[in-house]
Chains A and B, each alone.
Chain A
Amino acid sequence: MPSVILDFYPTKPQTTFPHPFAEAHSKLTDRFVGTSGDYAHITDIFSIATTPTQILSASGGSCIKVHSTASPDIPLEQTIKGAHKLGCHHIVTSRNGRVAASAGFGGEVKIWHISEETSQWAEAGKIVDQNKAGEVWAIALSEDGQFLASTTYDGRINVWDLAGGKIREYETKGSFGLCIDISRDGKYTASGHENGGVYIFNNDMGKLLYSLPGLVKPVRTIAFSPAGTRLAAAGDARVIALYDVSHGEQVANLTGHTAWIFSVDWSDTGEYLLSGSFDGKAKVWSIDRRACVANHSETDKALWCVKWLPKTGRSEMFATAGANQSISFYREATGG
């Protein structure tokens, strides 16, 4: 029997930081804002990514925002203007926090490096592969930021060495690759597809390892556990499927969401899984107990992305972002 019952609650009575976070991605006004062009219309936050000290967010607007998670009021540290003119749907970071990659609605992928002196991000390159719109969709970075994996509209999976070029190209059955992840050790790439298919590829050997019994409906999010032993996949089927990477069998089904699931993320220890869905619900699941241990529904707007913050203090924190145009932070209630 579990001796500690975990409870996650918002870090503040309100889920969203009224400032300066509200300012970060909140709707400023319904009109043009000035002529300086630093903010235009602010829309949904489609994706967030974390480093040990920062959170990067990408939205329907053209800029990427960087906030510091090192101080409690989470100040805005940098705005990368004009990163993706048509908006940005995916942003990812390497685990070491040095490299970021972002994919825009125009089909372009940009690589960003952080300067150790100034702590400012700067563009370090682009992935160019005759990218047409939708050609590159979901992206993932390896732990050291050397490799980037991407999906395409027609179901191909590409792996790039950011120092070299494309090193792997996997074919699947041609169904839109909606999500992708690379295991921490860089050994595996996993992709989730619109037709419900889930694939695990062995990067060392460059071949398909498992074609997993999928979820029939579109798989919109996929994530390796920190140890690389488990794979979580979820989407329109409203359940989270857990697979064992070593033999490719499904080992659990986490049920409870009543809307499409857009995002899942493992806690640093692999004990908990975080999930967010279209109806604005965020859930924390205990992997041991195979049960939902925390349920948050502070918004009824879609949560496009949920992420644990790298563990720095005693307690775990996570962030959610989506159609309500702001990022909300939650802290684990410890000592319970």
Chain B
Amino acid sequence: MDYRPPPPPSGRAGLQPGFGLPEDLLSHLPNRELTYNGYTGTWSKLDHPVSLCSTPPPGFTFQKSKSAADSCNQPGAVISRIEDVFEAMTDCIIGEKNELVIQLKSRSRTKPQADDSGATAAKKQSNLELRAITFPSRSPQEAWKFTALLRILELCHEALVTGTVTTKRDIYYRDPELFMKQAVVDRYVNDLAYTLGVQRDALNVVAAAKGLVVGPFTITKNDNSVVDYGLEHEVRLFPVPLTIDYGLMGSGCATFRTLAASEYWMRSITGPGIIITAKGYPDIQTRQFLHLLFIQKLDIPIYALVDFDPDGIGIMSTYKHGSMALAHESANLSTPSIKWLGVRSSDFLQTSSDVQGLLKLSARDRRVATKMLEKGIFKEDGSEVEWRRELQVMLMLNVKAEIQILGNAEKLGEWLDRNLLEGSRSI
């Protein structure tokens, strides 16, 4: 098939290919679908988009420390608190009052000194500002502040109501002209959370996602707009008609950058693919993204390339089956179709020459591996026979190896070609 080569790197200095998974892209999953159409060359919305919001209770991922009852009720409570604010304003408008007010509790900018506890407490009190932000106001500054706060409230409300998670960065990019800079959003989100008496997480706002992704795909929003992440998020877009032949998730950031820099995802022998990393144990957004890929594009095989150590297998397990802690809530975040590409013990022990880069297991590694062997999927009658075997072999040999043991960019590419080809045959 004929496809355009990736466009040359952008002229902006320091811009690397790829990156920046989806803070924006993932934060409103129900509104967006990952789409491609390799045959007609068009990118379109799916006819039957699978919505994530129908299943998880809003904010379900952020209530770990609270009781189950709390976690069910809190989003509702926060929503109603936000709506109270809106309602108060509506009342103001209906009552034809002259001004709208947001009572904002703001925390001190200066950190209290820890040396004198009594004075610190007093200082804390005095630093706690309770300010009324009114609109209209004679100060244009205050008018702007009011608008920004209202916009943030609205976006939080949207996130809560749709049961999605947004990031501070996402909020900023929803209205960069209004917010002027990221720091404004960061501060106001925190202030609003403080005012409402909840954690920031309870507003369904998280810090920026840590996942990275590269590959020929676009995200189409509900309103049919295609956001140019290439400019703003360092995610290069390739509105090129391509079929995505595989997804590859790796555990290492370094490996991801190696593969992205060499544009392996375009040159792979098995065709173009998407490469994803969460730089270690995946966060919820990265898992959601992979899950989205899985439920919308069942025909795309998804492979895991992780270190040969207990954490590597743990990371793969988190993607595939969900986190151990939230196993019962993982159905909407897991990607059960994941296949293990490597690294296995046979990848580095079948050579007769000495392999460089083998490491000893630490005492912690051995503890982690043993603990894993006790858990469901790793048990004798569990679903992951091979994982159990490789964990046992790891303990037998007392060695571990990082992905880098497979080689540098070129050798890694060859290894991937070989193994992806094998993988695609076995399907």
A residues neighboring B (CB under 8 Å): 30, 32, 37, 40-41, 43-44, 46, 60-62, 85-87, 89, 105-107, 132-134, 153-154, 176, 178, 194, 218, 258-260, 278-279, 302, 304
Contacts and interface: CB of A to CB of B under 8 A. Distances in A.
A62 B388 CA distance: 12
Contacts of B373: 86-87, 105-106
Given A106-B370, A279-B350, A43 B363 contact: no
A304 B352 contact: no
A44 B349 contact: no
Interface in B337-363: 349-350, 352, 360, 363
Given A41-B388, A304-B396, A258 B366 contact: no
Nearest to B384: A41
7 contacts: A32-B381, A40-B381, A41-B388, A44-B392, A105-B392, A153-B363, A194-B360
A227 to B, nearest CB: 30
A194 B380 CA distance: 28
Contact of A46 (B366, B370, B380, B392): B392
A289 to B, nearest CB: 25
Main secondary structure of the interface of A (DSSP, over half): loop
Specify which of B367, B380, B385, B393 lies most central, judged by the most chain A CB atoms within 10 Å of its CB.
B380
Nearest to A175: B360
Contact of A105 (B350, B363, B370, B381): B370
Nearest to B378: A86
B398 interface: yes
A32 B376 CA distance: 13
Contact of B370 (A37, A133, A154): A133
B370 A258 contact: no
B374 A106 contact: yes
Contacts of B389: 43-44, 60
Contacts of B363: 134, 153-154
B316 to A, nearest CB: 18
B100 interface: no
B395 interface: yes
Contacts of A258: 352
Specify which of B363, B379, B381 lies most central, judged by the most chain A CB atoms within 10 Å of its CB.
B381
Contacts, number: 73
A281 B371 CA distance: 33
B380 A41 contact: yes
Contact of B352 (A37, A176, A279): A279
Interface residues of B, number: 22
A258 B353 CA distance: 8
B352 A40 contact: no
Contacts of A44: 389, 392-393
Specify which of A134, A178, A194 lies most central, judged by the most chain B CB atoms within 10 Å of its CB.
A134
Q: Nearest 4 pairs between A and B by C-beta?
A: A133-B370, A40-B380, A40-B381, A258-B352
B339 to A, nearest CB: 14
A43 B392 CA distance: 10
A150 to B, nearest CB: 16
Specify which of B360, B367, B370 lies most central, judged by the most chain A CB atoms within 10 Å of its CB.
B370
Main secondary structure of the interface of B (DSSP, over half): helix
Interface in B215-256: none
B367 A133 contact: yes
A278 B349 contact: yes
A61 B398 CA distance: 19
Contact of A134 (B366, B374, B385, B392): B366
A37 B366 CA distance: 28
Contacts of A43: 385, 388-389, 392
Contact of A41 (B366, B385, B395): B385
A176 B389 CA distance: 21
A325 to B, nearest CB: 10
Contacts of A153: 363, 366
Nearest to B372: A86
A86 B369 CA distance: 11
A105 B395 contact: yes
A291 B76 CA distance: 79
A258 B350 CA distance: 10
Nearest to B393: A44
B370 A259 contact: no
Nearest to A217: B354
A62 B380 contact: yes
B387 to A, nearest CB: 11
B381 A41 contact: yes
Nearest to B399: A218
A260 B373 CA distance: 25
Given A60-B392, A86-B370, A134-B370, A260 B360 contact: no
A154 to B, nearest CB: 8
A176 B350 CA distance: 24
Given A43-B389, A106-B374, A194-B360, A259 B352 contact: yes
Contacts of B349: 259-260, 278, 302
Contacts of A60: 380, 388-389, 392
B426 to A, nearest CB: 13
Contacts of B395: 89, 105, 134
A107 B373 CA distance: 12
Nearest to A236: B354
A132 B379 CA distance: 19
A85 B363 CA distance: 21
A194 B398 contact: yes
B195 to A, nearest CB: 49
A29 B388 CA distance: 16
Contacts of B388: 41, 43, 60, 87
Contacts of A278: 349
Nearest to B374: A86
Given A41-B388, A62-B380, A85-B379, 8 more contacts: A41-B381, A44-B389, A86-B370, A87-B392, A133-B370, A134-B363, A134-B395, A258-B352
